[in-house]
Amino acid sequence: MSEERTQACAALLKQARVVIDTDGTGEAGLEKIKTLLVALADRGEALFPLSDFAMPNAQGRNHILALEDGDGMGLYLTINMPGKEAAPHDHGIWCVNAAISGREVNRFYRRTDDGSRAGYATIEPIGEVMVEPGHGMAMADHAIHETMVVSDVPSVELALYGYALARFPSVVWFHPEFSSVRAMPSRRAEAA
């Protein structure tokens, strides 16, 4: 990894930590972090030339850029191929994305049932954001979204998560056509 990229990614984590310590991870704090991440992504090819990163073998690939010490944040470069999609899901932790190239639509949902029936869930759409160069998205803890790459070139993005991927809480997947939900095991116990 280039020294300039290493320093820029470490600086982003430090700036994000200051925002979190000052403003928290509510909407205002995450919007500030999104502004920082979009500015870093805008440095595109200078800091993140695709020749430095392996392309996906299938639909998508994550590359670690920087990890905060302890139980902290993880910054990744993601490459998702045209047409890649992810069903509605809840990461269980906040995330912020900013595009270097390509276009990915993020559709957001609200859960409409009370969660009292195991394996059952209903959701309804509440909005969408296009993640493309110059634009990002911020998503709070337990927000539900689905993604689809809508460009004819790969979507290359920076993704900052509240925890490193190896320490993710349980990810919950929603299947609206069946009114069903399933939770994947948390990675946190494995990473401890």
Task: Write down the domain spans for the chain.
Answer: 3-191
Confidence bin at 57 (pLDDT 50/70/90) = confident
Length of the chain: 192
- C-alpha to C-alpha distances, 105 to 27, 76, 82, 98, 137, nearest whole angstrom: 20, 18, 12, 12, 10
Torsion region of 60: left, alpha or beta (phi above 0 gives left; psi -120 to 50 gives alpha): beta
Residue 1 has pLDDT above 80, yes or no: no
pLDDT at position 189 is 64
Name the residue among 153, 160, 88, 101 with its Cα closest to residue 131: 101
pLDDT at position 56 is 87
3-191 CATH: 2.60.120.10
Query: Sheet of 172-175: strands edge to edge?
Result: 123-131, 104-111, 144-149, 85-90, 172-175, 180-183
Residue 93 has pLDDT above 60, yes or no: yes
Per-residue model confidence as pLDDT tens digits over 8-37: 999 999 999 999 999 999 999 999 999 999
